[in-house]
Amino acid sequence: MKFQVFKNGKPCSDFVVSAAYMFGADTIPLHATEEVRFVHGQIECKRKSHDAAGLALLWPINGMGRLLLPTTRLPERERPYMLNIELARAKLMQITLKQEDWSLFEENDELFRLSQEARLLFISSLERISDPGKASQLADQCLAKAMEYSEKLAVQQGEATFSARCKAKGLGRHSLGCRVDPKRLDEERYGKWLFDMFGFVTMPVNWARIEPERGQYDFNELDHCIETLSSRRVAVCGGPVLRFSKEYLPSWLLHGKPEFERIRETAYGFVSKIIGRYGKYVHAWRVISGMNALNHFGFNFEQAIEMTRTATLAARAADAKSRKLVEILYPWGEYYALDRNTIPPLVYADMVIQSGINFDAYGLEMHFGKDQPGMHLRDMMQISARLDCFAQVAKPVHIAGVAVPDAVGTGDSAANRAGFWHNEWDSDTQGLWIDQFYRIALGKPFIQSVTYSNLADSEDMDLPNSGLLNQSLEPKKAFLSLARFQKAILRK
């Protein structure tokens, strides 16, 4: 499968393919993709299967940023497709589908104008297909209009449902949460911002730091967190208790090639130890996180489900009262194209329920702003549409972590590699993104809460510059955006 790439009406000579993957039915990424590369003005996609497939990649859109966009699924053919047209076609199709899903057929004058302009531009691009340069320019204009329209539509729908939910008292003080930094919890200003704003906080748990030697535990940090938090009027969430990525696993467990049974027994013991020690202070536990995407030991499908069952059994045995969350990372599943020992997010969510695993809710983590599968920027309609997919999982959903930066980074946080939204990141853009995301997420009745991942910037944070406060603990515009949400939620 091949795609012609045009820029400003001319064939591209230097296009950089970023974050690209191919997907099949149900938007599940394809393992069979061998290579996606740009050569001689075209993107060539080599794969083993010949079924219809789509391509997703980072793409610049005038006035909207550099975002990860998909084509529709297309049949394989010798003649190349024009990528500019296929991206516009896919966005217009998504708009039509979401209008039906959301029953949004009444448009104000601005939305009606954008909708008509986008559709007329797309028709014109198809009519000029024999002139590829002109057709690509019309398709680019169509995509820019369609992107603007789709985001306004997603925000309008979010605003309407969020307002209705607030009026019905469907949200409360515990709807807004934040992860705490134990190192700064003693700072007076840090505590003031934290406890004035948030009704519940997440206490981080890292197995690697807590059990550096087998059977030798260092609970000092967690003990201090619990002592500080339990004296305040705040609900506490703990976790993730288990996460199978290298930085969360103790070094003694990484030596050699431990058998699955040994890992399972050890994990059961750790979960029991943590939840048994702090259960009476903690309202909810993120029991196991990212088993769909982070699989350092290469568990097969059955083992991944069994590890999820083991973690929830240990948590339930240690404390029957608190809520138990199973957490899903990277909800679009891009990682699945690269690692066969992972599970597509919705497949994992469905199998956890079908396997009879006893838990209370799903957690979703959505971090954007890094050149890593699952962390490239997407537009608000894509985010809203993906959240809607989790309405079918028969469990409440909590956004257990969300973050975006307020400044352009370097390396894998650079704008050209990670993408950006509307403008290159600054305080205004971060604040606007958070305002729109929270409005959309909290407007969905199946989403119970949203937790922001970093209250304040720090030098060792995974996503640089993503705090609500700077390192001097001065509030950013993002913090002020959340203050408006708190006021709207708590208004009598």
Distance CA 280, CA 410 (A): 43
In degrees, to the nearest 5, what angle opens at C-alpha 323 toward C-alphas 188 and 212? Answer: 65
Band the pLDDT of 451: cuts 50, 70, 90.
very high
**Does the domain at residues 169-490 carry the CATH identifier 3.20.20.80?**
yes
Write out pLDDT tens, residues 162-185. 999 999 999 998 999 999 999 999
Taking the model in full, what pTM does it have?
0.95
Band the pLDDT of 490: cuts 50, 70, 90.
confident
407: which 2 tokens?
């400044």
Write out pLDDT tens, residues 269-310. 999 999 999 999 999 999 999 999 999 999 999 999 999 999
- Read off the amino acid at residue 325: L
Q: Give, for 448, the enclosing helix (H) or strand (E).
A: strand 447-452
Q: Where are the domains of the chain?
A: 2-162, 169-490
Q: What is the pLDDT of residue 94?
A: 97
DSSP state of 15: P
> Is pLDDT above 70 for 126?
yes
Helix 109-127 / helix 83-102 crossing angle, nearest 10 deg? 140
Q: Is 139 helix (H, G, I), strand (E, B) or coil?
A: helix
Task: Please give the average per-residue pLDDT across 460-471, as a whole number.
Answer: 94
Give the HSE-up count for residue 270: Cα atoms under 13 Å, Cβ half-sphere: 34
Give CA separation, 9 vs 97, 137, 396, in Å. 29, 5, 47
Helix 132-167 / helix 477-490 crossing angle, nearest 10 deg? 40
Give the HSE-up count for residue 468: Cα atoms under 13 Å, Cβ half-sphere: 24
Task: Please give the average per-residue pLDDT across 213-237, as a whole number.
Answer: 94
